[in-house]
Structure 1
């Protein structure tokens, strides 16, 4: 499914149903046929009464015998239809999860930075479940009810034209009013979906940072935050529920008045002899059989309005245009020397200039250290190289290839990143290391783990490489997580390496082990290292000092540490190996 994904509920359902269209067509056809026959069974009452009045008892017994057989056939059709509905719905669920997750993963770094991770997942789940609700409500409520109304209208019209016209007007009135009321219900339902997303996002955020909650003794404050979000969600939900009940009550009143008038009209016509007893009983039975569908039409509109509201809220956010996309003729990045060039790059963040006509060349295999106070542009430098943001002017080249003209996947495959806080999955250590190269052998995995100084501590764990690390690696220490991340980067074997303050949060003992691992990792690669602990940069070939997005100093550690500039000042102001912020 390479074409554009629709962001409106029913268009989206059709889009995900195309792969299962025959299951959908067969299911709908069987439901329509079953509903038509089901509503027509009331005609047996007329046939039986007319035959009894004519003393045709053979016909009476025949119709009485056929009646349960037809009813059984109707139920059989309904039951058979569930087989196709199940296939349709379950396959749609998988397709929906797949395409929404895949599309969301193509959003930029900024998209996820502005949202709770839990809220994005909640929107995906809301869309999937609401799409399923819409299909089931249509299959079991709206379609059978609509078919029942049409069949009843035809029969009533044949019996009495005025009664048929009155019935048609009733249906039109109910549909019009419920459609109008459902518009407001959709607005309420979107508010419910939004407040639910906010609530779920807050709860997941709290549990994801439960250690901080405990360490700062902020449980009561977080409880208040959740209670506020819960109160908002409860208020939105109560308002929606109340409006739903009002819709159902309104339908009930309208149907009650219509039924009284219709029965009064039929009694008068029967007394005057304009319709026979069979017709009278037949129409009454039709009215009785459609009473429940008529009452349920409001409930169905309610459910559909709620589901479409939830879907619309989720689809509009999830299916926003991807901020960064590959150009039409994008080709894979081909890296031979890993030369990086920044040519007149300008970039603004939140309307504030970070880089203006920035130029830099990083030679193949060069180890470059980035130094600067907070806000100097170090993190943005890395983000732009990874193409997490688009640059409005200038270009970044790798081996002469503009990174905006190559595929994003190939660009990121060529760059390994070891961040200050490694992103580990709630999976085994083995799975986390193999994330760098899923096709690597176990021997290759163990080799890089040893090179990363991780093998020994891993083997001391009860389950070794099969140990689950917990969410974000919470079961491991900072140094252990960092070594797993280094092993993963080694296994990736990318020609360009970014070390984003990889040792700034570690104790001295852990740093010694990780420095050994980093030495092995940097071998033969073009390296960009950001560090607050300047001692980690002494072995860099070249160090540049950034200030407000400009290179103010450029040279080796030895030359800069005695040049009387910013780097020397930072070096002399270190305490315990860290930079002191001015």
Structure 2
């Protein structure tokens, strides 16, 4: 099949998807607008009054003045008497029109501020409540860019409706209402030409809409590439890959230029066609004005109104061209976040789900099956997996990389949902309880420390925001972090930098451990929590962790077997299955997989 035929066959679905996304974008924007309908109605009314009074009231009164002047001369001493009512009417019209103008400004600002808050909240909730699988497949920078564009798109759409489109409707109404009784033939011809103009503009708008979505997608990809390079700038510099990253960025940047150029040429073509229609309209009005008095006996005042109103409505229709272009840009910019808002949550609470109540902390994995899906490829991680962890038991999970250790902890936290089976905490199925209540009962310290661009004190207290400064200091001390924190110039008020970049790996990890200590949850999950510590710090932190784990259910994922050697029980995983299970000494004596792993590691110790 020729390439052009393929392109034509693919174009219709693309436009169809664009139409669907546009409707969904309008749905979300309407949800926000409906909450502030009083402001929206006030804005529409103020715009209608402003246009009617200043654009049509003034010319109409002036036409009456012209007709009166043309009828017969007015003596100097009768000017105020004859024209006084017209002067008063003009003053009243302008006072009311300017008042409507300021009311328009006020309602516009208030609605934009209120809507921006609601849209930001809507986007934040959608992103925060999506699964880790969702976030793993997307650039963080792209998500930020899509959120910003989504909020800006509402503002652009509102301003476009308020300024080009509502005045156009007003123009048509008042032009027909005032001129139709006087020159009906002219009004009919004018309306036909304006209908052709509107139809051509709309048709070309529909053709360009998908080009705007493609341009917005390219912009989002560019933001993602920039974010990815900046977030990993240390790797870029240490491997001397600046040129490579610049090449990736340049490729994305050129794609933006290409798609923006296609949109530009399509918009210019639309502008040229509509400009030709505008010329035709002005030619018609010129003919009517030139011969109106001779052919139809049209008064000079009416001729003034005809020209003024036609010129006004034609200008307004010229703005439609620009307005449709802004519509295209708004819907294109909003499309990325609209798709995200429509995307089902892979991990969602059931309606009316109760909070998890942890009394003892017993954990059961019962016949669980879990797999990742990437396109058409399915990777099985667990198939009928079972594991019972009694309350208060300290369990180590070990095994080769890819055995499923970290995945198991994420399933417990419901960062992803299992496809089959049940995970129980004190007999409660975690899938039937709220996610927040589950995670507030589990202190989680991952392999990579998760720190915010905030103070050290705020980072430590993140799981317990009501903690006192003394409690924060105590948690830092127990995590062997107090000494280095107090050496910092601002101490606990030190800003850690994005993702804790201002601290060393070991320091970040101790801050994360201090956070878990302060949270004081009944269940503790440590995923390589001591991997970034030197031997001395590890020894001190393990003492703190040993104290923390007493009386609590603890799951410790570790490659460094010295971390788990003193735990109550060690579970060895391989290919998503339990291959060994027992205390350290028993597993060493068995001479199996655990003993083989132990013998490979140097510097290990037995207690």
Which category describes the TM-score, using the shorter chain as reference length? over 0.9
Q: How does 1:216-227 map to 2 (within 5 A)?
A: 216-227=239-250
2:36 to 12, 20, 33: 20
Q: How does 1:147-226 map to 2 (within 5 A)?
A: 147-226=170-249
| Aligned-residue offset at 1:68 | 5.1
- Tell me the equivalent position of 1:80: 103
- Tell me the equivalent position of 1:49: 66
The RMSD of aligned alpha carbons is 1.9
| Aligned-residue offset at 1:395 | 0.6
Query: Contact 1:40–1:151 at 8 Å: present in 2 too?
Result: no
Q: Secondary structure at the match of 1:562?
A: helix
1:10 to 17, 26, 29: 26
Deviations 1:146-198 (A, max 9, x none): 21122112223222111111111122222222111111222111111111111
Query: Contact 1:330–1:405 at 8 Å: present in 2 too?
Result: yes
Q: Secondary structure at the match of 1:485?
A: helix
Q: Tell me whether 1:516 sits opposite 2:543 in the alignment.
A: yes
Deviations 1:435-476 (A, max 9, x none): 010011111111111111111111110000000001110111
Q: TM-score, normalised by structure 2?
A: 0.91
- Tell me the equivalent position of 1:572: 599
1:134 to 157, 169, 182: 157
Q: Structure 2 CA distance, aligned partners of 1:53 and 1:518?
A: 99
Q: Secondary structure at the match of 1:476?
A: coil
Q: Tell me whether 1:120 sits opposite 2:151 in the alignment.
A: no
| Aligned-residue offset at 1:65 | 5.8
| Aligned-residue offset at 1:273 | 4.1
| Aligned-residue offset at 1:577 | 5.3
Query: Contact 2:25–2:331 at 8 Å: present in 1 too?
Result: yes
Q: Structure 1 CA distance, aligned partners of 2:252 and 2:296?
A: 66
Query: Contact 2:212–2:329 at 8 Å: present in 1 too?
Result: yes
514 and 56 in structure 1: CA distance in 2 versus 1, 3 angstrom threshold: farther
Q: Tell me whether 1:447 sits opposite 2:474 in the alignment.
A: yes
- Tell me the equivalent position of 2:488: 461
Q: Structure 2 CA distance, aligned partners of 1:209 and 1:309?
A: 29
- Tell me the equivalent position of 2:507: 480
Query: Contact 2:472–2:518 at 8 Å: present in 1 too?
Result: yes
Q: Tell me whether 1:345 sits opposite 2:368 in the alignment.
A: yes
- Tell me the equivalent position of 2:3: none
- Tell me the equivalent position of 1:35: 51
2:446 to 419, 436, 440: 419
1:277 to 296, 300, 303: 300
576 and 250 in structure 1: CA distance in 2 versus 1, 3 angstrom threshold: farther
Query: Contact 1:52–1:60 at 8 Å: present in 2 too?
Result: no
Q: Structure 1 CA distance, aligned partners of 2:602 and 2:203?
A: 69
Q: Structure 1 CA distance, aligned partners of 2:518 and 2:73?
A: 89
1:321 to 344, 364, 388: 344
Query: Contact 1:419–1:500 at 8 Å: present in 2 too?
Result: yes
1:531 to 558, 564, 583: 558
Q: Structure 1 CA distance, aligned partners of 2:547 and 2:259?
A: 57
Q: Structure 2 CA distance, aligned partners of 1:468 and 1:45?
A: 67
| Aligned-residue offset at 1:264 | 1.3
Q: Structure 1 CA distance, aligned partners of 2:344 and 2:22?
A: 11
Q: Secondary structure at the match of 1:272?
A: helix
Query: Contact 2:22–2:335 at 8 Å: present in 1 too?
Result: no
Deviations 1:295-346 (A, max 9, x none): 1111011111210222133211243121111112311111111000111111
Q: How does 1:487-506 map to 2 (within 5 A)?
A: 487-506=514-533
| Aligned-residue offset at 1:483 | 0.8
Count of aligned residue pairs for this structure pair: 574
Q: How does 1:256-335 map to 2 (within 5 A)?
A: 256-335=279-358
Q: Structure 1 CA distance, aligned partners of 2:73 and 2:399?
A: 103
Q: Tell me whether 1:356 sits opposite 2:383 in the alignment.
A: yes
Q: Structure 2 CA distance, aligned partners of 1:517 and 1:202?
A: 41
Deviates more, 1:397-406 or 1:177-186: 177-186
- Tell me the equivalent position of 1:401: 428
Q: Secondary structure at the match of 2:475?
A: helix
Q: Secondary structure at the match of 1:327?
A: coil
Q: Structure 1 CA distance, aligned partners of 2:23 and 2:478?
A: 49
Structure 1 unmatched runs, 5+: none
Deviates more, 1:519-528 or 1:471-480: 519-528
Query: Contact 1:48–1:64 at 8 Å: present in 2 too?
Result: no
2:462 to 409, 428, 435: 435
